[in-house]
């Protein structure tokens, strides 16, 4: 059995344990930094259209329905699923496929937030529907060696994105030009998609989509660099100062570094993810900035990435009780607004191991200076 077929083996076993007669994994082809792409994870390929689904029987038969029909040949070349069918009438074809495969009784549905009322009604006309996102989340938490290598590949591409960020952070460069150079470098390195936030100025209030502002000497340039590779996300949060940084910037960034180090040290398999936020907030509060540890001055102390990660679709804060588990990939970032300096970016993506949190990026998390 191939490495991707092992996903099917796990799914079939869990379907049996939960008494499901079938499983439907739906996707609208959307890629989101915080929301898991279950079909992409299961099938190993991202569909482009608005209606797609893998239909799985408890005996292990799988049909992948793809809309629009013209995307089916591309999907068939990239997925391990052997039966790929194009569809121009998805609600009709999904019910027809369920009947052809003998699926009735109870069917697990994955991707409920993406599904339309029309599709849900069609599925419910054939079988009783039960939410099943947790099934895919459970099997995804046990990362295979291949999936860990994918994470390392994504980390390398993020490093390349940061190299471009540092190189092109220079006076007269527009923010959108900087983002374009970063995206070009990461796509050339193999990224399927890219999400970038950045801001520039002497005092930033937040990170945002790149604009047309020209960078200048003395700017603090902050960036959130997120390439997507084979459905897996990886993120670096970095700060670059153009020219010599003011002593106050160095001083305040050191607070963020200490917050990052303490929160990483708190990571242990089985510990609630909230330990990350609590350790971070303690350092920043002890430095006199407790007021700024909560919205609207910051949004989150970290978050999960994709299927099988912590808090899918959510964020990590003091109240996150979900446990950290071996093989999870999580973002830890004390991104923080400080009154004297403005918003500063600090942090990255970590792999949870038996020893704690392992950084997969090669570029060091620190305050960077671009000489001009």
CATH number where 46 lies: 3.40.350.10
Q: Which of 115, 140, 165 is a domain's end point? A: 140
Q: Which of 107, 140, 173 is a domain's end point? A: 140
Q: Which of 140, 164, 188 is a domain's end point? A: 140
Look at the chain and report how many structural domains it folds into.
Answer: 2
Residues 210 and 262 in one domain: yes
CATH number at residue 226: 3.90.230.10
E strand intervals along the chain: 22-27, 51-57, 62-67, 84-86, 106-110, 128-131, 193-201, 220-229, 232-233, 236-242, 302-304, 329-332, 336-338, 342-344, 347-353, 356-359, 367-370
E strand intervals along 132-272: 193-201, 220-229, 232-233, 236-242
Residue 1 pLDDT: 40
Residues 189 and 60 in one domain: no
pLDDT tens by residue, 210-233 = 999 999 999 999 999 999 887 788
Q: How does strand 356-359 pair with strand 347-353?
A: antiparallel
The pLDDT of 355-367, averaged and rounded, is 95
Residues 94 and 66 in one domain: yes
Structural domain harbouring 186: 145-370
Question: In this model, does residue 202 exceed pLDDT 70?
Answer: yes
Token representation of residue 26: 């739906």
Residues 184 and 271 in one domain: yes
Residues 197 and 286 in one domain: yes
Residues 115 and 149 in one domain: no
The pLDDT of 107-135, averaged and rounded, is 94
Residues 79 and 156 in one domain: no
The pLDDT of 225-249, averaged and rounded, is 93
Residues 186 and 294 in one domain: yes
Distance between CA 229 and CA 215 in Å, rounded? 30
The rounded percent of the chain whose pLDDT value lies above 90 is: 79
Closest CA to 280 of 292, 269, 268, 293: 293
pLDDT tens by residue, 257-311 = 999 999 999 999 999 999 999 999 999 999 999 999 988 898 889 988 878 777 6
Residues 95 and 155 in one domain: no
Residues 306 and 328 in one domain: yes
Confidence of residue 168 (pLDDT cuts 50, 70, 90): very high
pLDDT tens by residue, 310-321 = 766 678 999 999
Residues 262 and 179 in one domain: yes
Among the listed ranges 134-143, 204-213, 327-336, which one has the minimum average pLDDT value? 134-143
Residues 108 and 151 in one domain: no
Confidence of residue 113 (pLDDT cuts 50, 70, 90): confident
Among the listed ranges 54-68, 144-158, 275-289, 333-347, which one has the minimum average pLDDT value? 144-158
pLDDT higher for 225 or 193? 225
The rounded percent of the chain whose pLDDT value lies above 70 is: 97
Confidence of residue 361 (pLDDT cuts 50, 70, 90): very high
Residue 4 pLDDT: 53
């Amino acid at each position: 059995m191939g490495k991707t077929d092992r996903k099917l083996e796990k799914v079939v076993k869990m379907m049996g344990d939960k008494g499901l007669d079938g499983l439907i994994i739906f996707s609208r082809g959307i890629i989101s930094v915080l929301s898991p792409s279950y079909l992409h994870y299961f099938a190993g390929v991202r569909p482009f259209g608005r209606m797609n689904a893998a239909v799985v029987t408890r005996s292990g038969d799988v049909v992948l329905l793809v809309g629009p029909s013209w995307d089916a040949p591309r999907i068939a070349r990239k997925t391990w699923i052997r039966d790929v069918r194009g569809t121009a009438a998805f609600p009709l074809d999904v019910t027809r496929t369920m009947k052809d495969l003998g699926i009735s009784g109870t069917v697990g549905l994955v991707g409920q937030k993406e599904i339309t009322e029309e599709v849900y009604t069609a599925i419910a006309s054939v079988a009783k529907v039960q939410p099943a996102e947790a099934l895919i989340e459970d099997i995804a938490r046990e990362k295979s060696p291949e999936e860990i290598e994918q994470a390392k590949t994504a980390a390398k591409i993020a490093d390349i994105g940061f190299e471009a960020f540092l190189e092109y952070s220079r006076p007269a460069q527009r923010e959108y030009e900087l983002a374009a150079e970063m995206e070009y470098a990461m796509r050339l390195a193999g990224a399927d998609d890219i999400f970038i936030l950045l801001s520039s100025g002497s005092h930033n209030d937040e990170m945002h989509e790149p604009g047309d502002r020209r960078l200048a000497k003395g700017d603090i340039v902050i960036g959130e660099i997120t390439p997507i590779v084979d459905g897996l996300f990886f993120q670096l949060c970095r700060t670059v100062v153009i020219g010599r940084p003011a002593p106050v910037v160095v001083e305040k960034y050191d607070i963020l570094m200490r917050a990052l180090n303490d929160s990483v040290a708190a990571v242990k398999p089985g510990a609630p993810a909230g330990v990350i936020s609590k350790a971070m907030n303690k350092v920043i509060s002890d430095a006199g900035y407790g007021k700024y540890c909560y919205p609207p001055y910051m949004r989150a102390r970290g978050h999960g990435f994709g299927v099988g990660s912590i808090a899918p679709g959510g964020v990590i804060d003091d109240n996150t009780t979900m446990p950290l588990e071996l093989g999870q990939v999580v973002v830890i970032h004390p991104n923080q607004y400080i009154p004297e300096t403005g918003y500063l970016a600090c942090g990255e993506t970590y792999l949870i191991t038996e020893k704690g949190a392992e950084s997969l990026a090669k570029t060091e998390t620190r305050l960077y200076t671009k000489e001009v």
